[in-house]
Amino acid sequence: MRLSEFDYDLPESAIAQAPAAERDAARLLVHELAAGRTRHLYVRDLPDVLAPGDLLVFNDTRVRAARFFARRPSIAGVRGGPAGGGGRVELLLLDLCKGEPPTWRAMVRPAGSVRAGEALAVEGGNLVFTPLERLVGEDGRPGAEWRVGLIGGPRGEELEAQLEREGELPLPPYVRRPEGPSAEDGERYQTVFARERGAVAAPTAGLHFTDRLFGDLERGGIARETLTLHVGPGTFRPVSAEDPREHRMHGERYTVPSAAARAHREARARGGRVVAVGTTVVRALETVAAERGGEVAACAGETAIYILPGHRFRAVDALLTNFHLPRSTLLMLVSAFAGRERTLALYAEALAEGYRFYSFGDAMLLLP
């Protein structure tokens, strides 16, 4: 297995810079694996594609306003830390660390320019972060991540509210917003059912669904349930090893509630198909099934599962997902489900048909 085997040519014009005017108006490439048949439809056509008794499983994580832009100034009256040189620093808060006062694991750019203990004042806000220690990467050298804390500031729910006010939605870097995310981005980069705050990226396959579409699916006898997997940057971290099997995933927290586990068992019992809406749902369900002999049960934990071609799928029968970056772990997961050659052929067909790629783009449904 070589990394170059998961590459494809993608023109910049195919990268969606904005979502479809209506969520469920996104295009949908439907491919039946056994029959080898492909149809070009729209997401709103799902009630006619799926069958009564099928189960759709969604990820209800909510994207946090986790990106902050700060300065390294000499601020009179601010406690702690030496004066900085006034340079701009970007912080992306990843995980809240255990203990008090609150600290976070954060990506810092440029990571090498900041010093432990200095004051990083958020632009246009009242929060002041301070780097505490630079974290070591997998190669044993200092990486792009720091553990950061706050100088003063509120605590508890008041802190969460202030983080949301002063932070910025972390749109993917290929979505260009020179002036920062708009109010519309703040709405459209969340699913309509987003509930559990904790992700730094959206589960993008779920962005296409609307309350109207949910009503049509319910009337068609198609069930739905949610689980939670807080999407972290590790899912999108570039694979640099020429042998993809040497790549290591970062852990992501997940919860499979009892209602989702029960719905999964009931769907399988009645002969329905379990349709994972997004690769994050696949990773959560396959993690639980791998740990429990194929059974999906209510549980919570952290997963670093890495799904490559050759993986035996135990918990998922069909997959609805957007179109992913070349050489990415997400493309490898889709290749594991549909086969590498078939996946790349479907991507080539999608490009020829004018489909839009990545987070704000169109979708593909892989059926057994």
Give the CATH number of the domain where residue 322 resides.
3.40.1780.10
- The answer to whether residues 209 and 334 belong to one domain is yes
171 in any annotated domain = no
Strand partners, 130: 149
- Asked if pLDDT for residue 84 goes beyond 50, the answer is no
Residue numbers of the domain that contains 156:
67-166
- The answer to whether residues 256 and 269 belong to one domain is yes
Strand partners, 134: 146
Q: pLDDT value at position 118?
A: 93
- The answer to whether residues 356 and 300 belong to one domain is yes
Q: Which of 94, 63, 58, 301 is nearest to 197 (CA)?
A: 63
Mind listing the pLDDT tens digit for each residue in 181-201? Answer: 999 999 999 999 999 999 999
Q: pLDDT value at position 80?
A: 44
Q: pLDDT value at position 77?
A: 45
- The answer to whether residues 221 and 310 belong to one domain is yes
> Please, which pLDDT band fits residue 179 given cuts at 50, 70 and 90?
confident
Q: How confident is the prediction for the chain on average, in pLDDT?
A: 93
- Asked if pLDDT for residue 82 goes beyond 60, the answer is no
- The answer to whether residues 137 and 88 belong to one domain is yes
175 in any annotated domain = no
- The answer to whether residues 191 and 155 belong to one domain is no
- The answer to whether residues 205 and 327 belong to one domain is yes
Q: How many domains does the chain have?
A: 2
- Asked if pLDDT for residue 328 goes beyond 60, the answer is yes
- The answer to whether residues 195 and 331 belong to one domain is yes
- The answer to whether residues 284 and 229 belong to one domain is yes
- The answer to whether residues 342 and 306 belong to one domain is yes
Give the CATH number of the domain where residue 77 resides.
2.40.10.240
- The answer to whether residues 56 and 192 belong to one domain is yes
Q: Which of 43-47, 48-52, 239-243 is predicted with the least confidence, judged by mean pLDDT?
A: 239-243
Mind listing the pLDDT tens digit for each residue in 144-175? Answer: 899 999 998 888 889 999 999 999 999 998 99
Last residue of one domain, picked from the residues 116, 133, 166: 166
- The answer to whether residues 37 and 94 belong to one domain is no
Report the share of the chain in percent with pLDDT over 70. Answer: 96
